Amino acid sequence: MAVLIDGKKISQEIKEELKEKINQLKSKGEPLPGLVTILVGDNPASQFYVNSKSKACTEIGMLSKIERLPNNISENELLGLIQKYNNDINYHGILVQLPLPSHIDESKVIETIDPKKDVDGFHPINVGNLVIGKETYYPCTPYGIIELLQRYKILTTGKHVVVVGRSNIVGKPIANMLLQKRDGANAIVTICHSAAKDLSVYTKNADILIAAIGRANFIKSNMVKEGVVVIDVGINRIDDSKSEKGYRIVGDVDFADVEKIASYITPVPGGVGLMTIAMLLKNTYQAYININSRE
């Protein structure tokens, strides 16, 4: 039976570590790290995520502000607001909650954020630094995966990591992070995706399997080898008449099936998802340090 990788426990540890650092700043009368989150429209899922991020900031003593904008705001108005926060010394991290309405160019929005305040790690400059192995702000979900592997002392050097999924948010960045020649990485990495005729050809060879494809319970025990480390990034809603809500959240991995032969496995919920906000806070604190050291 697999060891459960507890994202709730590790994310709480990270928040406590950051809270201690912020308390030290307070005791010295220093200005505090600040994060502004910009929300366009009234998408319920986006509202939930934004509120969760703001609450996490408050918990550790970080400054937090939510800019709630109407769905019909013009692209130029949004870009102008981002520029305002690029120049605001009180906020060290800027996050624009995605997705955006169709009339707004997502790429243009991301590129307008000052790379020094891009705590989501999506700006092309930060993506480029990630690929060539320079220090940068890592996208929060992949960063959370790296943190889980390190804190559970799961060796990655020389291991075959198979990433199922090629998104800009998870698949591509985690692959690039894990192949870098450094501690906590230095892996042999394979990326596979929907174009493969048979994904199991690749997944069966994984020492560490990272599933990020958005297909509920897709990875079964017959697709992996004994002793595999399984990191499940999927968050899928499936109907469940036994649940009060009428649904439940599951990952991309059939947990009950795969945990019997895995050595380590993340649950859904309670695994990678909780790490995403913790790493956003860590990026914001690092942005604060970086910005103040340049001044």
Residues classed as catalytic: 53, 97, 120
**Euclidean distance between CA atoms 13 and 7, whole angstroms:** 10
Query: Radius of gyration of the chain from Cα atoms?
Result: 19
Give helix 7-27 / helix 272-294 axis angle, nearest 10°: 30
Long-range pairs for 86-92 at CB < 8 Å and ≥24 separation? 86/112, 86/113, 86/114, 86/117, 88/36, 89/31, 90/31, 90/34, 90/63, 91/34, 91/35, 91/36, 91/63, 91/65, 91/117, 92/33, 92/34, 92/35, 92/117, 92/119, 92/284, 92/287, 92/288, 92/291
Nearest-5° angle of CA 199, CA 202, CA 205?
A: 140
φ and ψ of 30, to 5 deg: -80, 155
Looking only at Cα atoms, what is the longest distance across the chain?
Answer: 60
Say if CB 7 and CB 274 are below 8 A apart: yes
**Euclidean distance between CA atoms 207 and 212, whole angstroms:** 16
